[in-house]
Amino acid sequence: MSTTTCQVVGFLLSVLGLAGCIAATGMDTWSTQDLYDNPVTSVFQYEGLWQSCVRQSSGFTECRPYFTILGLPAMLQAVRALMVVGIVLGAIGLLVSIFALKCIRIGNMEDSAKANMTLTSGIMFIISGICAIAGVSVFANMLVTNFWMSTANMYTGMGGMVQTVQTRYTFGSALFVGWVAGGLTLIGGVMMCVACRGLAPEETNYKTVSYHASGHNVAYKPGGFKASTGFGSNTKNKKIYDGGARTEDEFGY
């Protein structure tokens, strides 16, 4: 898979995951009433992060927001915080990733800058996906704990006879949307980080250049220079080059 394809696919998966996280956070079906022991009922209850709703058999639905913050369970407030943080990080990562796309040119932006922006957005998407998955998992664990506690309280007395009737809640559709959305965001962030390696410019090795003097008595080499002293035999001065030695007679002097 090419770098551009990996980056674009990661970007699209992250956008879908972020949209799913926003949808899951606003849904009211995080927990729904369990109808296993009471399949026929005129009232159906379900709850979300921000309000609880009651739907009657006539089709009329009434929702009531949570008007308190301190009165809510600590786990519910933690789930709220995780989902909001995940959405904020995902939105920031989305803005950064738009400018980091290789197919979009803005001014004279270098590839190294795009690589850094791609890595930054990928890390933000990964953290956003982890926050979404963690928030949904914490809420699901809370539902499982309350479900079995309610079941244990329902069957009391001798012979396992039902003495009390309590409303039990099970997984709602928002949980599955949140899990899938968090996974997509996480995978998209990983692909963005992988694409960052292909966008980073490769290191260039510069070779040394040797300079040759135009004088008659001095010749330069990469390892140093050699100068004629003018003393000794009556032979003519020679120039020394990399490819060998050439006398001045060859150049017509």
* pLDDT band (50, 70, 90) for residue 227: very low
The helix or strand, by DSSP H or E, that contains position 29, with its residue range, turns out to be: none
What average pLDDT does this structure show over 238-251?
A: 44
Higher pLDDT, 219 or 118: 118
**Digit-coded pLDDT (tens) for 95-130:** 999 988 877 777 677 778 888 889 999 999 999 999
What average pLDDT does this structure show over 171-184?
A: 94
Q: Alpha-carbon distance 116 to 193, whole Å? A: 10
Residue 113 inside a domain? The answer is yes
**Going along the chain, which residue ranges are E strands?**
31-33, 43-47, 51-56, 61-65, 169-171, 218-221, 224-227, 238-241, 244-247
Residue 57 inside a domain? The answer is no
Rounded-to-10 torsion of CA 152, 157, 159, 161? -70
Residue 226 inside a domain? The answer is no
Q: Alpha-carbon distance 132 to 21, whole Å? A: 7
**Digit-coded pLDDT (tens) for 178-218:** 999 999 999 999 999 988 877 766 654 444 454 555 555 54
Residue 48 inside a domain? The answer is no
Give the domain extent around 184. 1-30+69-153+166-198
Residue 114 inside a domain? The answer is yes
Q: pTM value?
A: 0.70
Joined tokens for residue 50: 């921000």
CB 188 within 8 A of CB 11: yes
Number of domains in the chain: 1
From the list 90, 93, 88, 99, the residue with the least C-alpha distance to 121 is: 93
Residue 63 inside a domain? The answer is no
| CATH number (domain holding residue 187) | 1.20.140.150
Residue 4 inside a domain? The answer is yes
* pLDDT band (50, 70, 90) for residue 3: confident
Residue 148 inside a domain? The answer is yes
The chain-wide mean pLDDT, for the chain, equals: 77
* pLDDT band (50, 70, 90) for residue 44: confident
